[in-house]
């Protein structure tokens, strides 16, 4: 089995080297084709995406990934390993040195002898973190900061009427801000405990809607709530002492958005 595996690897290396020779000598253009990939696709009836990737891989194995090409020709790695190494090197920052790229290739070649292609792909994603962890952390921080600023630029709330007496709101927030909103809503959106009225039959979306309204009421009742008409909105809750102590029963509430106006209307 190992011998057969090596033979397959060597055959793939020969096939890719032949593709590179065809591309280097411009045989496709001589045959009237627009590219080597187009010529091979027509001549061998191959999938366009697959043969296009093969042409790029063949060139890389003969130029900047010669060590990978040699490992494939020796049967030490498979063609799929070679393809993943090529993709992983292309994921590295464009401005790093050739020495760092060679170091990355050497690391992946060593890993390819101990890991299957799926595992190697995952390792390749984090290759730069292994080569230069400090610079990788810096680049990641810069990337996250750019993403954060782009997300903030798209922060929005859009209101629309969805029916008689009903409006809808579409909220778009950065991930961390949406997480904060969820953290506020989740405790308020839990199903009510089963009581004399039975279990809580509200849907999850209804509970979230009720929780959002409750969050608004809590915000308006807070000491730092914004004012409207010069007076902070207020909510008056009416309940008995027994209800307050035992926590059993229901209270009635009335929201006062402008106490001064209400007093004037009552003649006070």
Looking at the predicted structure, is the pLDDT value of residue 265 above 50?
Answer: no
Residues 6+ apart with CB under 8 A from 64: 89, 98, 101
Question: Which residues is 171 bridged to in the sheet?
Answer: 157
Structure tokens at 120: 């190697």
Distances (CA, A) of 180 to 6, 174, 175, 191, 268: 55, 10, 9, 20, 42
Question: Which residues is 159 bridged to in the sheet?
Answer: 169
Q: Which region among 31-40, 63-72, 85-94, 180-189 has the lowest average model confidence (pLDDT)?
A: 31-40
Q: Which of 72, 64, 89 is nearest to 17 (CA)?
A: 72
Question: For the residues 205-234, what does the mean pLDDT come to?
Answer: 77
Where along the chain do its domains lie?
Answer: 2-132, 226-268
pTM value surpassing 0.75: no
Judge whether 69 and 62 are in contact, CB under 8 Å: yes
Q: What is the pLDDT of residues 152-178, one digit of tens each?
A: 999 999 999 988 889 999 999 999 999
pLDDT of residue 129: 86
Report the percentage of the chain scoring pLDDT > 90: 37
Helix runs in the chain, H state only: 2-24, 27-30, 36-44, 48-62, 66-73, 79-91, 98-112, 117-125, 127-131, 133-153, 175-188, 204-221, 241-246, 259-265
Mapped onto helix, strand or coil, the DSSP state of residue 56 is: helix
Judge whether 54 and 82 are in contact, CB under 8 Å: no
Cα–Cα dist 185/124, whole Å: 39
Q: What is the pLDDT of residues 73-91, one digit of tens each?
A: 998 999 999 999 999 998 8
pLDDT of residue 16: 84
Q: What's the pLDDT band for 27 if we cut at 50, 70, 90?
A: confident
pLDDT of residue 218: 87
Cα–Cα dist 75/256, whole Å: 80
Cα–Cα dist 131/241, whole Å: 68
């Amino acid at each position: 089995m190992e011998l057969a595996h090596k033979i397959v690897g060597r055959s793939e290396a020969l096939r890719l080297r032949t593709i590179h020779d065809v591309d280097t000598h411009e045989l496709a253009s001589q045959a009237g084709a627009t590219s080597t990939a187009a010529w091979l696709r027509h001549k061998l009836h191959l999938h366009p995406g697959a043969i296009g990737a093969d042409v790029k891989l063949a060139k890389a194995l003969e130029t900047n990934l010669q060590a990978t090409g040699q490992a494939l020709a020796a049967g030490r790695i498979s063609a799929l390993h070679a393809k993943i190494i090529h993709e992983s090197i292309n994921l590295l920052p464009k401005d790093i040195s050739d020495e760092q790229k060679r170091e990355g290739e050497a690391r992946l070649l060593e890993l390819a002898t101990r890991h299957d292609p799926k595992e190697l792909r995952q390792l390749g994603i984090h290759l730069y973190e292994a080569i230069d962890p400090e610079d990788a952390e810096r680049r990641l921080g810069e990337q996250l900061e750019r993403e954060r600023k782009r997300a903030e630029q798209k922060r929005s709330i859009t209101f629309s009427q969805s029916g008689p007496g009903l409006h809808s709101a579409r909220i778009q927030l950065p991930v961390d801000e949406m997480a904060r909103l969820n953290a506020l809503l989740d405790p308020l959106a839990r199903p009510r405990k089963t009581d004399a009225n039975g279990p809580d039959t509200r849907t999850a979306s209804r509970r979230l809607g009720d929780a959002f309204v409750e969050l608004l009421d809590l915000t308006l009742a807070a000491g730092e709530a914004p004012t409207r008409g010069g007076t902070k909105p207020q909510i008056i809750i009416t309940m008995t002492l027994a209800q307050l102590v035992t926590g059993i029963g229901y209270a009635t509430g009335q929201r006062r958005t402008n106490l001064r106006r209400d007093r004037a209307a009552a003649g006070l």
